[in-house]
């Protein structure tokens, strides 16, 4: 396959495109491409593949109708990758318990591609990484396992994922796609292939490292700005000022950036800054603002628990064996994803005080929570809670009345509304927000 003809060959269905990793990023990309070209969707978990064959999205982001009219083959057999000439790697890039980059899934996916790589093939990475990872960590594996020469026998690119879980407005079709290539010719071909699905257009980065860096600072910028809001919340709460009221007033200025305090978890904003700080230290720079922001955000779960306990004590409540209801367990609203959920920090901190914690969530899987964090969802909500923490503002929780909360609590209780969605609506309970 000549790289000059890769775009035309895909359109003519003389070859196909593969997507490695069919999570909340990979599956939508695969299905969107499959509307116009042949696609191989590869995932290492056979049980997930079987669900997708039945038009079921394991991530609960897509409907069965999204699978319709798709020329796609789902497989967990990596040898099927030999049929493809354009490979997109979209696997998770988590951190380990020491907050260091864990490239295990990425390098494993790279080995799967490398063992099946052919002359003329393209490999494009979408997984968020530090600048230099694609060329320094992945390309050598592709060369070693394929026996092919980089930029002579195969080309590489990087096109960062920008999909926001649970966001139906900002989708693959509506977000500008950053693309990059290992040479000018590769960049043009990669841009052409992505133009098939990126209806909002593509932006051609000057090199792969620039594209990698662009992605990682998108989430780092959000993390630092949210950390500032969280620190302001810590200050204003000591002063007896409601942070959301302060932000509402300040937001009337045309150039005030509207960020808000909250729990920062998940597999993007709460993870990506650690990739950048890791690489920065290799170059002898020790980031201060980024790491300070991470420290503040990582502490907020414990802060919510501590503040709740202090408020309960101020009301004369006995802490040990008291009952607290935590509403929401996923890392953000209206999704089922529990990865790196900071709600777990709230629960574990409360339990360290001897509090009995019940957890409810309309989206999370109880078995997954038990496996990942050691607690499960409660089946029956009590009517005598000493405190309620609204940790995740799922749409299911947005319009409940104060009467509802009073029915499930005692007479003298704390209501901690993390995101402040009930500000001004709770009159009879001790109300707290970030």
Query: For the chain (length 434 residues), average pLDDT per consecutive 10?
Result: 74 96 93 96 96 92 90 97 97 94 97 98 97 98 98 97 67 85 96 94 97 96 97 96 96 95 91 96 97 97 98 97 97 92 97 98 96 96 97 96 96 96 95 96
The whole-number pLDDT of residue 61 equals 84
The whole-number pLDDT of residue 2 equals 46
Q: Is 99 a catalytic residue?
A: no
The whole-number pLDDT of residue 166 equals 60
- The Cα–Cα gap between 113 and 126 comes to 14
Closest listed residue to residue 180, CA positions, set 140, 144, 129? 129
- The Cα–Cα gap between 233 and 270 comes to 19
The whole-number pLDDT of residue 94 equals 94
Give the chain as a 3 state SS string.
CCHHHHHHHHHCCCCEEEEECCCCCHHHHHHHHCCCCCEEEECCCHHHHHHHHCCCCCCCCCCHHHHCCCCEEEECCHHHHHHEEEEEECCCCCECCCCCECCHHHHHHHHHHHCCCCCCCEEEECCCCCCCHHHHHHHHHHHHHHCCCECCCEEEEECCCCCCCCCCCCCCCCCCEEECECCHHHHHHHHHHHCCCCCCCEEECCCHHHHHHHHHHHHHHHHHHHHHHHHHHHHHHHHCCCHHHHHHHHCCCCCCCCCCCCCCCCCCCCCHHHHHHHHHHHCCCCCCHHHHHHHHHHHHHHHHHHHHHHHHHHCCCCCCCCEEEEECCCCCCCCCCCCCCCHHHHHHHHHHCCCEEEEECCCCCHHHHHHHHCCCCCCCCCCCEEEEEECCCCHHHCCCCHHHHHHCEEEEEEEEECCCCCCCCCCCCEEEEC
- The Cα–Cα gap between 213 and 207 comes to 10
Phi, psi of 159 (to 5 degrees): -140, 95
Q: Catalytic: which of 16, 133, 138, 268? A: 268
The whole-number pLDDT of residue 171 equals 63
Phi, psi of 357 (to 5 degrees): -110, 130
Q: Which residues contact 398 (CB under 8 A, 6 or more apart)?
A: 421
- The Cα–Cα gap between 329 and 362 comes to 9
């Amino acid at each position: 396959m000549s790289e000059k003809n890769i775009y035309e060959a895909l359109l003519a269905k003389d070859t196909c495109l593969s997507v490695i990793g069919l999570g909340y990023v990979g599956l939508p990309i695969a299905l969107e491409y499959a509307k116009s070209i042949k696609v191989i969707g590869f995932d290492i978990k056979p049980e997930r593949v079987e669900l997708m064959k039945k038009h079921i999205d394991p991530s609960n982001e897509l409907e069965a109708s999204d699978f319709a009219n798709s020329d796609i083959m789902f497989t967990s057999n990596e040898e099927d990758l030999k049929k493809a000439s354009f490979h997109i790697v979209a696997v998770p890039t988590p951190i380990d318990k020491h907050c260091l980059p864990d490239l295990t899934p990425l390098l494993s996916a790279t080995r799967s591609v490398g063992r099946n790589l052919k002359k003329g093939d393209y490999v494009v990475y979408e997984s968020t990484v530090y600048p230099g990872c694609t060329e320094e960590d992945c390309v050598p594996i592709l060369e070693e396992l394929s026996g092919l020469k980089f930029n002579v026998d195969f080309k590489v690119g990087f096109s960062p994922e920008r999909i926001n879980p649970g966001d139906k407005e900002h989708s693959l079709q509506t977000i500008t796609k950053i693309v990059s290539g290992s040479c000018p010719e590769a960049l043009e071909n990669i841009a052409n292939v992505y133009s098939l699905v990126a209806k909002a257009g593509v932006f051609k980065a000057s090199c792969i490292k620039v594209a990698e860096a662009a992605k990682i600072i998108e989430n780092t910028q959000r993390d630092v700005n949210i950390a500032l809001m969280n620190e302001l919340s810590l200050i204003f709460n000591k002063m007896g000022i409601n942070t959301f009221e302060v932000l509402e007033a300040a937001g009337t200025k045309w150039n005030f950036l509207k960020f808000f305090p909250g729990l920062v978890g998940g597999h993007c904003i709460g993870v990506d800054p650690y990739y950048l700080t890791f690489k920065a230290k290799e170059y002898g720079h020790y980031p201060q603002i980024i790491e300070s922001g991470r420290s503040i955000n990582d502490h907020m779960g414990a802060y919510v628990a501590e503040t709740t306990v202090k408020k309960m004590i101020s009301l004369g409540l006995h802490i040990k064996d008291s009952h607290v209801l935590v509403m929401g367990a996923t890392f953000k609203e209206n999704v089922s994803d529990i990865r790196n959920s900071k709600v777990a920090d709230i629960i574990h901190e409360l339990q360290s005080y001897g509090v009995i914690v019940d957890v409810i969530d309309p989206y999370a899987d109880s078995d997954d929570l038990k496996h990942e964090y050691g607690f499960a969802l409660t089946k029956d909500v009590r009517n005598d809670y000493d405190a309620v923490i609204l940790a995740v503002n799922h749409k299911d929780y947005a319009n409940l009345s104060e009467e509802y909360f009073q029915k499930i609590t005692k007479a003298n209780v704390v209501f901690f509304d993390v995101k402040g969605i009930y500000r001004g609506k709770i009159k009879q309970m001790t109300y707290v927000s970030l």
